[in-house]
């Protein structure tokens, strides 16, 4: 008995490069990279505004930046859930 030359997971062996795997994941779930990009944008803008925060305390500025970044990510994931049809408009999940 010799082992079969067929692969058990052919879809994983055809996409060998990391770039092709990343593009495939982006096509499957487009709102995840949108959420990640928004998070990076909010953090970048917050760091830019760090110099011009005036008399605002550092901890308060960082809390505002964290809440904005998390809000963007949660909003993108929520829009993705509704966009993919995982949550119907009635609010009841599919079974």
Structural domain spans, the chain: 14-84
What global pTM score does this model have? 0.56
Q: pLDDT for 34-91, tens place per residue?
A: 878 888 888 888 888 888 878 888 888 889 888 988 888 888 888 877 777 766 666 5
Number of neighbouring beta carbons within 10 Å of residue 47: 10
**Two tokens at 81?**
């859930």
Cα angle 32, 35, 38 (rounded to 5 degrees) comes to 150
**What's the CA gap between 5 and 44, in Å, rounded?**
50
Q: pLDDT for 64-74, tens place per residue?
A: 888 988 888 88
């Amino acid at each position: 008995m010799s082992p079969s030359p067929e692969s058990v997971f052919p879809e994983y062996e055809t996409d060998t490069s990391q770039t092709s795997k990343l593009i495939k994941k982006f096509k499957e779930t487009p709102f995840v990279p949108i959420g990640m990009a928004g998070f990076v944008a909010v953090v970048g803008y917050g760091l830019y505004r760090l110099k011009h925060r005036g008399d605002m305390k550092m901890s308060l500025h960082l809390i505002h930046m964290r809440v904005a970044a998390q809000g963007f990510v949660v909003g993108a994931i929520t829009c993705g859930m509704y966009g993919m049809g995982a949550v119907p408009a009635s609010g009841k999940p599919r079974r």
